[in-house]
């Protein structure tokens, strides 16, 4: 059984900060769960262009408001508490927080913990997965 608190995670090196966001990585690849789980804060006024080419992600908005734009279709959707979005097609998207947004996120395959977005807006592929292929 794994027991972790958000407070402890935020005070550790498992709390990763980057431009426009901060993510407490609560479960990671080495935990052996088959997914990773993060509590992520997206900062108001940022514009976060992301494209998880190597991961699928589901996000539940817990607090805050903003929008997400699907760049393939041009559709924009409102984000507010209780909204879930799933990037089930490695969707290229932009999140625009109007207020700070607090989210719970799940990634498959799980991340290792130190990832930040590369120049394409993706997290890098896990090298171990490439070796297995």
Domain extent at residue 86 = 6-132
Would residue 1 count as lying in a domain? no
Whole-prediction pTM? 0.85
Quick one: which H or E segment has residue 102?
strand 101-108
Tell me the average pLDDT of the chain: 89
Number of domains in the chain: 1
What's the CA gap between 118 and 94, in Å, rounded?
A: 15
Comparing 17-21, 70-74, 109-113, the range with the smallest average pLDDT is 109-113
Q: The domain spanning residue 11 has which CATH number? A: 2.60.120.10
Average pLDDT (79-92) is: 94
106 domain-assigned? yes
């Amino acid at each position: 059984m794994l027991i972790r608190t958000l407070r402890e995670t935020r005070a550790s090196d498992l709390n990763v900060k980057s431009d426009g966001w901060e993510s407490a990585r609560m479960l990671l690849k080495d935990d052996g769960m088959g997914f990773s789980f993060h509590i992520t804060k997206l900062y108001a006024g940022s514009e976060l262009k992301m494209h998880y080419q190597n991961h699928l992600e589901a996000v539940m908005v817990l607090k805050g408001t903003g929008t997400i734009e699907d760049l393939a279709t041009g559709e924009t959707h409102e984000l507010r508490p209780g909204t879930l979005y799933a990037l089930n097609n490695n969707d290229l998207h932009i999140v625009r927080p109007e207020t700070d947004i607090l989210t719970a996120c799940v990634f498959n395959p799980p991340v290792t913990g130190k990832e930040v977005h590369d120049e394409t807006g993706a997290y890098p592929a896990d090298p171990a997965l490439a070796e297995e292929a």
